[in-house]
Amino acid sequence: MLLKDLTWPEVKDLDFDRLIVVFPTGSFEQHGPHLPFTTDTDIVTAVAEGVEHALSDHVLLTPTLWPGLSTHHMHFPGTLDVPQKVYIWLITELGKSLTSMGAKKVFILNGHGGNDTPLRAALRELKSEVPDTQFVFASYWSIAAKTIRDVRESEIGGVGHACEMETSVMLHLHPSRVKVDRAVRDGSKHTDVFRAADMQHARPVYFVQEFYEMSESGVIGYPDLASAEKGKRFLDGIIAEVSAFVKEFLTW
């Protein structure tokens, strides 16, 4: 179900014991010289809609929160940033509205790496303020790690930002909005940094880098390996894995 198409009396009649509210979070930030600012938002929305389609009786989907934490991309013009403290507060308040609506289980489906820390922080606040609603957060690439490993052709360093995967999915979803001829491989100035930014690589130490310190073009990864067909395989696999998690969450 799409929350946006309901009316309040219909929401009042929902049986929240059998429902998971899915709340997708994206960003509005630079994605290199070839992808649009809404890339994260577009992809996570497509994933969320796929999941809702697969499990429509058990999923209540909200619109995607398109502004995200993009402080590290502010050197690239066009990026719209919600700084950390505001983002934590915003998510906490929207989470409280969901609780107030009756939600018992909320799945924050994230599509942007920069939101990771403030989403964790918001979940701590929500646990204290509205302990009876169960909030779970995951980025789609964490749940769908297997799909990404299976579909990607690049080595470590190829799947980061405006990369093989994101470019592929955008070619599948919005081909006319991809300026594919401008796509460049970038982010490899420094092996460590390069690895740090790959979605499949966790480092044991943490530090904050502004994106321009890692990439001149705004890309980290191998967009040149992208194709629409690969994008469809990424997306289908991600939707399947995320749907499987949502089904599991229903049983918790």
Of residues 93-122, which lie at the interface with a copy of itself (CB under 8 A)?
Answer: 93-94, 97-98, 100-102, 117-121
- Please, what is the minimum distance in Å from the beta carbon of residue 120 to a copy of itself? 4
Please pick, from the candidates 15, 132, 181, 204, the single residue that binds a copy of itself as defined by CB under 8 A. Answer: 204
Query: x/- binding map, residues 136-175, to a copy of itself, per CB under 8 A?
Result: xxx---xx-x------------------------------
CA count, 13 A, side-chain hemisphere, 55:
24
CB 112 within 8 A of CB 27: yes
Q: Which is nearer to a copy of itself, 83 or 229 (CB)?
A: 83
Q: Which is nearer to a copy of itself, 229 or 239 (CB)?
A: 239
Cα 12 from Cα 41, distance rounded (Å): 29
Cβ 156 to a copy of itself shortest distance, Å: 18
CA dist., res. 46 & res. 136, Å (int): 20
| 70 within 8 A of 25, measured Cβ to Cβ | no
Among 18, 129, 156, 202, binds a copy of itself (CB under 8 A): 202
Asked if 200 interacts with a copy of itself (CB under 8 A), we say no
Using only the alpha carbons of the chain, give its radius of gyration: 18
* The only residue of 104, 177, 232, 247 in contact with a copy of itself, by rule CB under 8 A: 177
Per the CB < 8 A criterion, the answer to whether 21 and 98 are in contact is yes
The reply on whether position 15 binds a copy of itself by CB under 8 A is no
Q: Strand 20-25 relative to strand 105-110: parallel, antiparallel, unpaired?
A: parallel
Q: 224 to 243, contacts with a copy of itself by CB under 8 A?
A: none
The reply to whether 82 sits near a copy of itself by the rule CB under 8 A is yes
Binding region for a copy of itself (CB under 8 A) out of 60-68, 147-155, 165-173, 224-232: 60-68
Q: Please tell me what DSSP assigns to residue 64.
A: P
Question: How distant, in Å, are the alpha carbons of 67, 137, 156 from that of 25?
Answer: 8, 10, 26
Q: Tally the C-alpha atoms within 13 A of residue 182's C-alpha that lie toward its C-beta.
A: 13
